A and B are shown apart, each in its own frame.
Chain A
Amino acid sequence: MVMNAIRWLVFAVAALVMNFPVIATIVTALKTPADVISNASLIPRAITLDNFAAVFTVSERLNIWKYLWNSLSASLIGTILPILLCLPLAYAIARRDFGRDLLLPLVVNLRAMPLIIFAIPLYMMYQTLGLLDTRFGLGLILAVVNLPLALVLLTNAVAEIPRELDEAAGMDGARTGRILTRLTLPLIRPAIATTFVFGFITAWNEFLFGLMLTTSKAVPMTVGASFFFSAGGGGVQWGVAAAVIVVASAPPVILGLIMYRQIGRSMLAGAVKG
C-alpha cells in the first residue's frame, strides 16, 4: 500500500519534471501579462484566454492561419511525396535486391549529414528555379529530409512480408502492379502510418529551411511563431508567445494521438503458419 503510494509519487514527480517545459508553456499562455511577470508559480492567479485571442489579432502583419496553412501544405508534401517515391523502391529493394548494397546505404547516410550543408547550393538552385518562398519548394526539401526514414521503414516492412504471399499471388495471375496495390500496400499500412506520423512531425517542426528559403508568402508556423515574440512592439509578450507556441505545437501532437494505435501494428497474422 505504502509502496504503491511511493511508486505513484515517483511517477508523478518524473512526469512533472519531464513535461515541465510543456506545462510551463501552457500555464504561461493562460496567465495575464501581469501574472507572467510577478507570479512564477505554475498555478496562475487567474485563467485567461486573452493570449490565445491575441494570437489571431495581435498584428495585421502576422496571419497565423497563413503560417498554419503553409506548414500544413509543405509538411504534407514533405511527408506524402517520400512515401510515394519510396513504395516502389522499397519493393524493388526488398524483393528484387535492387540497390540493396549501394543505393540503400547511400540514401540512409544522407540523413547523417548536417542539413546546413545543403543550405548554400539549395538556395542558389531555388533562386534559379523560382522555388524560393513557395510552399512547394519548402515541401520538396522536407521530402528530401524525410526520404531516408521512409525508405528504411518501408523496405523493412516489405521485407517482412513472407515471399510466398507474392508467389501465391503470382500463381493466381497477379502481375507486379496488382501485387503491389492489393497485397503489399495493405500489408504495410502500419509502416506507412508510422512513416507518415514521424515524417509529418519532422516536417512540421523543421525550422532551418523554413527560415532560409521563405520570406513572406510561404513562411511556416515554426518561423512565424518567432515573429510573435515582439509582435506588440516594445518588450517580449510572453503570454502571447506561449499561446502561439501551444497553437503551433498542436497539429503534430493531435496527429500523433490519432495515429498512435496504427504505429507498430502488424497486418501479417494468419498469413503463414506461426
Chain B
Amino acid sequence: MGSIQLKDLRKSFDGLEIIKGVNLEIKDGEFMVFVGPSGCGKSTLLRLIAGLEEVTSGTIISDDRDVTRLQPFDRHMAMVFQSYALYPHMTVRQNIEFALKTIKLPKAEIARKTAEAARILKLEPYLDRKPAALSGGQRQRVAIGRAIVREPSAFLFDEPLSNLDAALRTETRIEIARLHETLSGTIIYVTHDQVEAMTLADRIAVLSDGQLMQCDTPQMLYERPVNRFVAQFIGSPKMNLLPASGEDGKTVMLAGGSKAITVEGGYTGKVAELGLRSEHLRLGSSMDAPLTGTVSHVEYLGADASIFVTLTSGEALNLRGVGRELPEVGAEVGLLFEPSDIHLFDADGLALREYA
C-alpha cells in the first residue's frame, strides 16, 4: 500500500511562504513526478512528504494514517538523494544493510534482502567496495538499493539523475522505469527535466512558485494545459504565443489577422493569447496562410530542424521543420496550422478552450 494525500500543505521559511497550499492525491503504485523550474518548491514538497522538513500547516496522509508530525522513518518511505548521500566509510553491503540493522532484523533476513537488492540492481560484484571506488551510475544504484531493501510504502527520488552524464541518464531512466514495474511501489520523483517527467510519469504535478499548477497524465498536460505556464513548461521548444482576441465563444481573431478562426468545441471567456506548439505549425505558401513572415534563423538537428520565423506583425515564432527540407534564411513563408491544435488563454493566462 502506498497512497499519499496532501491537504492544503504549506511551508514557510523565516516568514517566507515556499509551499502555498498544495492539495494532491497520489494513488497506490503510481509513478508521480513533480516538475517545475528551479525554486518552484518541488524539492521542498518532497522533503515535507519525507519528513525532513517540518510542515507549517496542512496534513499529509499516508495509507489513511496522518503522518504529518511523524519522524521520517515512521512514515515508511525511502528516499534517494540527489547527491546519493552514501555512507562513505561503509561498504556497499553495509550501506544497503544499514536500515535493516537499525531496526534489528534477524541476520539471515538482512542477508537475504541485501542479496536480493544486489541482484535486482546488478551490484553483486561491488558489495565489498566503498562508495569512493564506484562510478556515478553504480553509486546511484547503491542509493536505490538502500531504499528498496526497506520495502517502503513509497519511494521518494530527489533529482536522482542530475549528477549523471547524458548517456548514463537515459540508461538509468529506463532502469528506474523497469524498477517501478518490478517493485510496483508508489514513486514520487522530483525533476526539472521535462523529458524525464514525460517518459517516466503516470501523472505529472507541475509546480510553480510553491503552487500546484496542474496534475495530470503526460498526454493531458501536453494536449490540454490548464494555463499558459503549463503550456509553455511542457513541450520543447516552448509553445508559441500570439496576441489574439475573441469573446463570442466560437471564433478568435489573431491580432492583425483578417480571417476569424473557428474554435472546435468552443471556449469560455475573453481571449488574449493564442498558443501554437512548434510541431503543429507547417510551412506553406505565403498566399493563403493565416500567418506570414520571413525565416530569420534555422537550426539543423538532423531529422528535424528548428525554424525561426519573424512574422509580419513583428512576433517571433518557431516551428519544427524536416531536416531535409530546409527553407532559406530570409525566405518569405506562410505558416499553416489546424484549428484543432490551437490553445487559447485569457489575460491572466488561464486556458479557455472547451473540450468535448
Chain A residues whose C-beta falls within 8 Å of the C-beta of B163 in the assembled complex = 273
Identify the closest chain A residue to B89 (Cβ).
Answer: A186
In the assembled complex, B84 has its CB within 8 A of some CB on chain A = yes
A156-170 vs B, CB cutoff 8 Å, 1 = contact: the mask equals 000000101101111
Given A270-B132, A270-B139, A273-B163: A183 in contact with B81 (beta carbons within 8 A): no
Docked CA distance A157–B103 (Å)? 28
B54 to chain A, nearest CB (A): 13
Contact: A271 with B87, CB < 8 Å? yes
In the assembled complex, B73 has its CB within 8 A of some CB on chain A = yes
Chain B residues whose C-beta falls within 8 Å of the C-beta of A104 in the assembled complex = none
Chain B residues whose C-beta falls within 8 Å of the C-beta of A273 in the assembled complex = 83-84, 136, 139, 163
In the assembled complex, A267 has its CB within 8 A of some CB on chain B = yes
Docked CA distance A273–B83 (Å)? 5
Contact: A270 with B130, CB < 8 Å? yes
Chain A residues whose C-beta falls within 8 Å of the C-beta of B133 in the assembled complex = 270
Interface bracket on B: 20 to 34
Docked CA distance A165–B51 (Å)? 15
Identify the closest chain B residue to A163 (Cβ).
Answer: B85
In the assembled complex, A60 has its CB within 8 A of some CB on chain B = no
In the assembled complex, A174 has its CB within 8 A of some CB on chain B = yes
In the assembled complex, A272 has its CB within 8 A of some CB on chain B = yes
Contact: B88 with A168, CB < 8 Å? no
Contact: A162 with B102, CB < 8 Å? no
B267 to chain A, nearest CB (A): 47
Chain A residues whose C-beta falls within 8 Å of the C-beta of B99 in the assembled complex = 171-173
Given A269-B132, A273-B136: A174 in contact with B102 (beta carbons within 8 A): yes
B114-137 vs A, CB cutoff 8 Å, 1 = contact: the mask equals 000000000000000011111010
In the assembled complex, A84 has its CB within 8 A of some CB on chain B = no
Contact: B85 with A164, CB < 8 Å? yes
Identify the closest chain A residue to B164 (Cβ).
Answer: A273
A174-186 vs B, CB cutoff 8 Å, 1 = contact: the mask equals 1000100011001
In the assembled complex, B78 has its CB within 8 A of some CB on chain A = yes
Q: Which of A162, A168, A170, A182 contacts B71 (CB 8 A)?
A: A170
In the assembled complex, B349 has its CB within 8 A of some CB on chain A = no
Identify the closest chain A residue to B149 (Cβ).
Answer: A172
Given A173-B99, A173-B103: A267 in contact with B88 (beta carbons within 8 A): yes
In the assembled complex, B35 has its CB within 8 A of some CB on chain A = no
Docked CA distance A268–B131 (Å)? 10
B9 to chain A, nearest CB (A): 19
Contact: B85 with A269, CB < 8 Å? no
Q: Which of B73, B79, B85, B102 contacts A271 (CB 8 A)?
A: B85
Chain B residues whose C-beta falls within 8 Å of the C-beta of A167 in the assembled complex = 52, 72, 79, 81, 85
In the assembled complex, B353 has its CB within 8 A of some CB on chain A = no
B55-106 interface (Cβ within 8 A of A)? 71-73, 77-79, 81, 83-89, 98-99, 102-103
Contact: A172 with B98, CB < 8 Å? yes
Docked CA distance A172–B50 (Å)? 11
Docked CA distance A196–B316 (Å)? 68
Contact: B72 with A170, CB < 8 Å? yes
Docked CA distance A267–B132 (Å)? 10
B262-293 vs A, CB cutoff 8 Å, 1 = contact: the mask equals 00000000000000000000000000000000
Given A173-B73, A178-B102: A272 in contact with B83 (beta carbons within 8 A): yes
Docked CA distance A186–B88 (Å)? 10
Contact: A169 with B98, CB < 8 Å? yes
Docked CA distance A137–B64 (Å)? 60
Given A162-B83, A271-B85: A172 in contact with B139 (beta carbons within 8 A): no
Contact: A172 with B73, CB < 8 Å? yes
In the assembled complex, A108 has its CB within 8 A of some CB on chain B = no
Contact: B85 with A162, CB < 8 Å? yes
In the assembled complex, A187 has its CB within 8 A of some CB on chain B = yes
Identify the closest chain A residue to B143 (Cβ).
Answer: A168
Given A165-B87, A168-B85, A187-B88: A270 in contact with B134 (beta carbons within 8 A): yes
Q: Which of B71, B83, B132, B150 contacts A164 (CB 8 A)?
A: B83
Q: Which of A168, A182, A270 contacts B131 (CB 8 A)?
A: A270
In the assembled complex, B228 has its CB within 8 A of some CB on chain A = no
B277 to chain A, nearest CB (A): 35
B195 to chain A, nearest CB (A): 21
Chain A residues whose C-beta falls within 8 Å of the C-beta of B87 in the assembled complex = 165, 168-169, 183, 271
A183 to chain B, nearest CB (A): 6
Chain B residues whose C-beta falls within 8 Å of the C-beta of A267 in the assembled complex = 88-89
Chain A residues whose C-beta falls within 8 Å of the C-beta of B72 in the assembled complex = 167, 170-171
A114-171 interface (Cβ within 8 A of B)? 162, 164-165, 167-171
Q: A270-B130, A271-B131, A273-B83 are in contact. List 12 more A-B contacts (CB 8 A).
A: A164-B81, A170-B71, A170-B72, A171-B52, A171-B72, A171-B79, A172-B102, A172-B146, A174-B102, A269-B132, A270-B86, A270-B132
Closest 8 pairs between A and B when the two form their complex, measured CB to CB: A270-B132, A270-B131, A272-B83, A172-B99, A164-B85, A173-B73, A271-B88, A269-B132
Write 16 A-B pairs (CB below 8 A) sorted by A numbering: A162-B83, A170-B72, A171-B50, A171-B72, A171-B73, A171-B78, A173-B99, A173-B103, A269-B132, A271-B84, A271-B86, A272-B81, A272-B86, A273-B83, A273-B84, A273-B136
Residue ranges of B at the interface with A (Cβ–Cβ < 8 Å): 50-52, 71-73, 77-79, 81, 83-89, 98-99, 102-103, 130-134, 136, 139, 146, 150, 163
